């Protein structure tokens, strides 16, 4: 029997019904406490037929915020909100991990406690603008973290991991991609430190290693995933040799017996790729999750050829709560409304029809 998207798979000690993963998707619809509420419960429960849901990126502290309306996992209110989401997903037989996030320089004083300056590995101002409650504003010059402050942020990740466990998640994903704080340490375009957290490829991995050490004190390692994006230029990111550097990072993860490695393949800004991702995948001994522009045919081929074990889908799951059934039955997909991606109400969030609803609504 051939292996395809709909084959079950065991991930650590969890059995997933299929290999279709709902990718983490920032939707900016948390409540005033940066906590999930009823609209989020409905949204995630609708998509519970995914083999695994990875939640939208969720900040590990108030200092980790980078956008308005994004959920966190550091307060009691947030735990209560996420527990309702988790219970709803579990009631439908789904599995759900939370993605842990610290935005670093991709933030703005308007979003942070006491209007503090965003932090980064090095004081390098990113090009672009931050989303604030008062509209778009240019990113500011970040402040380079001191050694003791790095330890404080690692402790915030551990606290968030504890809160995620208290809420009842099936596991956690450490967001080390897409230009946020851990990725800022990994890539030499944003990390120009000369201490043990910068310079060599070994030193640039130090922060990610510290974070993993901390969260694995809370969770079994096979309930922890990691997301990387070797050549994504989003958030003004660059690296002098992503092929060599990320081959090292990936190989170093092997000793940890993680749930999976989740890789955003190529550059989401240009849809191009210069790295041989099968070669990168070959450096990793565990489950490999592919992401970035996959459709059913490409995903099936990737899994059948052994290029990946799981495939994460973003926009297709956003617009099709029943994406698994639609792919299984080769049904037409809903079109995604990009104007409702970030912020707003139920429109473009929980009102995308299931296939039966869509066909019933069509005129005779």
3 located within any domain: no
Q: What is the average pLDDT across 269-288?
A: 94
Q: CA 168, CA 78: separation in Å to the nearest integer? A: 12
Nearest to 293 by CA among 308, 313, 272, 310: 313
Q: What is the average pLDDT across 217-242?
A: 98
4 located within any domain: no
pTM: 0.97
Q: What is the CATH number of the domain that holds 318?
A: 3.20.20.70
- Quick one: pLDDT at residue 360? 59
- Quick one: pLDDT at residue 271? 80
**Is the pLDDT confidence value at 124 over 60?**
yes
Mark whether 180 is an active-site residue. Answer: yes
Q: CA 214, CA 151: separation in Å to the nearest integer? A: 10
- Quick one: pLDDT at residue 364? 39
Three-state secondary structure string covering the chain:
CCCCCCCCEEECCEEECCCEEECCCCCCCCCCCCCCCHHHHHHHHHCCCCCEEEEEEEECCHHHCCCCCCCECCCHHHHHHHHHHHHHHHHCCCCEEEEEECCCCCCCHHHCHHHCCCEECCCCCCCCEEEECCEEEECCCCEECCHHHHHHHHHHHHHHHHHHHHHCCCEEEEECCCCCHHHHHHCCCCCCCCCCCCCCHHHHCHHHHHHHHHHCCCCCHHHEEEEECCCCCCCCCCCCCHHHHHHHHHHHHHHHCCCEEEEECCECCCCECCCCHHHHHHCCCCCEEEECCCCHHHHHHHHHCCCCCEEEECHHHHHCCCHHHHHHCCCCCCCCCHHHCCCCCCCCCCCCCCHHHHHHHCCC
pLDDT tens profile 296-335: 999 999 999 999 999 999 999 999 999 999 999 999 999 9
20 located within any domain: yes
Domain count, the chain: 1
**Is the pLDDT confidence value at 157 over 90?**
yes
- Quick one: pLDDT at residue 363? 44
The Cα-based distances of 301 to 141, 227, 228, 261, 311 in angstroms read: 44, 22, 22, 19, 11
2 located within any domain: no
Give the tokens for residue 223: 């309930």
Residue 105: band (very low, low, confident or very high) from pLDDT cuts 50, 70, 90: very high
Q: What percent of the chain has a predicted confidence (pLDDT) above 90?
A: 95
- Dihedral in degrees, nearest 10, Cα atoms 169, 287, 1, 291: 80
Q: What is the average pLDDT across 135-147?
A: 98
161 located within any domain: yes
Which range among 159-163, 266-270, 276-280, 319-323 shows the weakest confidence by mean pLDDT? 266-270
As a whole number, the mean pLDDT across the chain is: 96
**Is the pLDDT confidence value at 246 over 70?**
yes
Residue 137, domain extent: 9-361
Residue 339, classified by CB atoms within 10 Å of its CB into exposed (0-12), middle (13-18) or buried (19+), is exposed
- Quick one: pLDDT at residue 337? 98
Q: What is the average pLDDT across 183-209?
A: 98
Q: CA 223, CA 216: separation in Å to the nearest integer? A: 9
Residue 3: band (very low, low, confident or very high) from pLDDT cuts 50, 70, 90: confident
Catalytic residue among 43, 139, 180, 277: 180
């Amino acid at each position: 029997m051939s292996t395809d998207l709909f084959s079950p798979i065991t991930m650590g000690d969890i059995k997933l019904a299929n290999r279709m993963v709902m990718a983490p998707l920032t939707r900016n619809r948390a409540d005033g406490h940066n906590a999930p509420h009823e609209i989020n419960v409905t949204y995630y429960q609708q998509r519970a037929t995914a083999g695994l849901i990875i939640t939208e990126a969720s900040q590990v502290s108030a200092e980790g915020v980078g956008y308005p309306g994004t959920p966190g996992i550091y307060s009691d209110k947030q735990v209560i909100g996420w527990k309702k989401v988790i219970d709803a997903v579990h009631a439908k037989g789904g599995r759900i991990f939370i993605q842990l996030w610290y935005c670093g320089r991709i933030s703005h004083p308007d979003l942070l406690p006491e209007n503090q300056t965003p932090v980064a590995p090095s004081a390098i101002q990113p090009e672009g603008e931050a989303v604030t409650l008062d509209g778009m504003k240019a990113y500011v010059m970040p402040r380079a973290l001191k050694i003791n402050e790095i330890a404080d942020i690692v402790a915030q990740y551990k606290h968030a991991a504890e809160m995620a466990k208290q809420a009842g998640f099936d596991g956690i994903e450490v967001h080390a991609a897409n230009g946020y704080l851990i990725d800022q340490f990994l890539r030499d375009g944003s990390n120009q430190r000369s201490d043990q957290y910068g310079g060599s490829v070994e030193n640039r991995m130090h922060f990610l290693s510290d974070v993993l050490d901390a969260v694995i004190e809370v969770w079994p390692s096979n309930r922890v995933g990691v997301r990387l994006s070797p050549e994504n230029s989003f958030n003004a990111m660059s690296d002098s040799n992503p092929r060599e550097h990320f081959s090292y990072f990936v190989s170093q993860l092997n000793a940890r017996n993680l749930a999976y490695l989740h890789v955003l393949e190529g550059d989401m800004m240009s849809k191009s790729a210069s790295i041989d991702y099968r070669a990168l995948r070959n450096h990793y001994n565990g489950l490999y999750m592919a992401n970035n522009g996959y459709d059913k045919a490409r995903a099936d081929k990737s899994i059948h050829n052994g290029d990946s074990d799981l495939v994460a889908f973003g926009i297709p799951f956003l617009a099709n709560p029943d994406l698994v059934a639609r792919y299984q039955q080769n049904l037409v997909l809903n079109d995604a409304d990009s104007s409702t991606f970030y912020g707003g109400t139920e429109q473009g969030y929980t009102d995308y029809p299931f296939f039966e609803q869509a066909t019933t609504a069509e005129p005779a």
